[in-house]
A and B are shown apart, each in its own frame.
Chain A
Amino acid sequence: MTTENLRRTSLYEAHKKAGGRLVPFAGFEMPVQYTGIVDEHTAVRTAAGLFDVSHMGELELRGQHAAAVVDYLVTNDVSKLGDGQALYTCACNEQGTILDDLIIYRAAAERFLIVCNASNHAKISAHFKQAADHHCDYEDRTDATALIALQGPKAFDVLARAGSDAAKLVELKSFHFRDAVIANVKTTAARTGYTGEDGVEIFCAWNDAPALWEQLLELGKDLGLKPAGLGARDTLRLEARLSLYGNDIDETTNPLEAGLGWVTKLGKASDFIGKAALTEIKSKPLARRLVGFEVTGRGIARHGYPLRDLEGKEVGITTSGSPCPTVGKNLGLGYLPTPMTEVGTKFFVDCRGKNIDAVVVATPFYKRISK
């Protein structure tokens, strides 16, 4: 496997030191695991985990018309955001299928930050840059920005030890963000995440990330904080039924069938790319839907495995699947014809030629008990 053209985040040496196994991911060498996926997954559910997600893209749009440009490119309603508030959204093409899923942060009325998937960075940066042209300032801040996620029930206990400003981050509301000094590092902290746990995602300057990372790990060590890799990130997000671009959603799927109708605001004041197509799609019953399922037979559903009805006819496809450590079951997400999406519907997952029993279950598979 060639690693020549792969990029490294500023935490590369820290990952090596922590025993991380680095693998190619979206053009970067990223840690897939350190101590083991189950161990790291469990640390995030019971204590806390620290993730390097610096590979993700950060775009900034500034100016009087920045809000209008962003609102035109995404399905959710950006006009509803106040300063220091963020939202999850899709960006669609004219056909109403998904270019990427994003978080939009409104820093000020005329300043927006967009975080996109690393795998879509080239596509999304070009898309936003083109839309911004002649309307507002556009800056790709990906190379200057590191992103560290601190997630888990002990996340704010760790922050309580990271200085007086960091200690107050516990007051931040969900999907809100602000500038914060954490362990003497200037950051922007957002109460967001991709694990189903409480926590923050912390932006800082590219070269400040190693100091922040090391200090947080040291401060949280006796609380059970551990570095966690992409493997645990995937099992954690699956249990929480958070979509993964390239697996559950892509340019062949629309937000309505993917269960992302809640971020698709067809009635918002602004027109947006994909609105006409999505309005048309919504006017008719959906042919298929993304559902959660449990594999009840002996097997593990993996991305791309066909789904079959009880007659053996291929009717759908697995988009994500894995053994899920906290739930303790083999779970998956997949598209099934709408009549087969009721909870309790039985079907087969075709695991490399073998029909394995599965059943539609309610999602999220895991939900934390809120305090």
Chain B
Amino acid sequence: MSDFPETLKYTKDHEWAKVDGKRVTVGITKFAVEQLGDITLVNFDAKVGDTVTAGKTFGTIESVKTLSDLFAPIDGKIVDINKELDGKPELVNEDCYGKAWMVVIEATGDLSDLLEVGAYAAIVKAAG
């Protein structure tokens, strides 16, 4: 069954966000990983320094079966990208809350739209 760490914030698009002041690390949730299956490619369309908008895509993730967009959970500027996923997309299956973080965004706006774990778990339950 999916697990969702309580220390993280979430979005309805099944991304997680670890908030550390203005620095927000972003990845996809265990539920998203389970839906996608075996991850084979992570593509970042945005690069370090690019501005991203909440709800807009910054890349794509592909599994054997399908392709899914990666959405920025907040407004901000990309300050780091996980280059390791280029060669090792399987890290997303292995450790989606750890080694498979995707980008770090420096927030420029409000973070209040991010969901607490309870609200996100309810969305997952409804989807399941």
Contact = CB atoms under 8 A, between A and B. Distances in A.
Contacts of B40: 300, 323, 330
A37 B37 contact: yes
A68 to B, nearest CB: 43
B65 A38 contact: no
B41 interface: yes
Given A37-B64, A300-B62, A302-B67, A231 B37 contact: yes
Contacts of B62: 300, 323
Contacts of B41: 298-300, 323
B13 interface: no
Contacts of B64: 37-38, 231, 235, 322-323, 325
B53 interface: no
A298 B43 contact: yes
**By DSSP majority rule, is chain B's interface helix, strand, loop, or mixed?**
strand
A337 interface: no
Interface in B44-103: 60, 62-65, 67
A33 interface: yes
A38 B67 contact: no
A302 B60 CA distance: 14
Contacts of A234: 65
B65 A37 contact: yes
A352 interface: yes
A32 B66 CA distance: 12
Contacts of B43: 298-299
Interface residues of A, number: 17
Nearest to B34: A21
Nearest to B64: A37
A231 B67 contact: no
A300 B67 contact: yes
Contacts of A36: 37-38
Given A300-B41, A352-B60, A32 B65 contact: yes
Interface string A205-233: 00000000000000000000000000100
A49 to B, nearest CB: 15
Nearest to A1: B127
B23 to A, nearest CB: 28
A325 B67 CA distance: 17
Interface string A76-97: 0000000000000000000000
Contacts of A33: 37
B38 A37 contact: yes
A201 B67 CA distance: 32
28 contacts: A32-B65, A33-B37, A36-B37, A36-B38, A37-B37, A37-B38, A37-B63, A37-B64, A38-B38, A231-B37, A231-B64, A231-B65, A234-B65, A235-B64, A298-B41, A298-B43, A299-B43, A300-B40, A300-B41, A300-B62, A300-B67, A302-B67, A322-B64, A322-B65, A323-B38, A323-B40, A330-B40, A352-B67
Given A32-B65, A231-B65, A298-B41, 6 more contacts: A33-B37, A36-B37, A38-B38, A302-B67, A323-B38, A325-B64
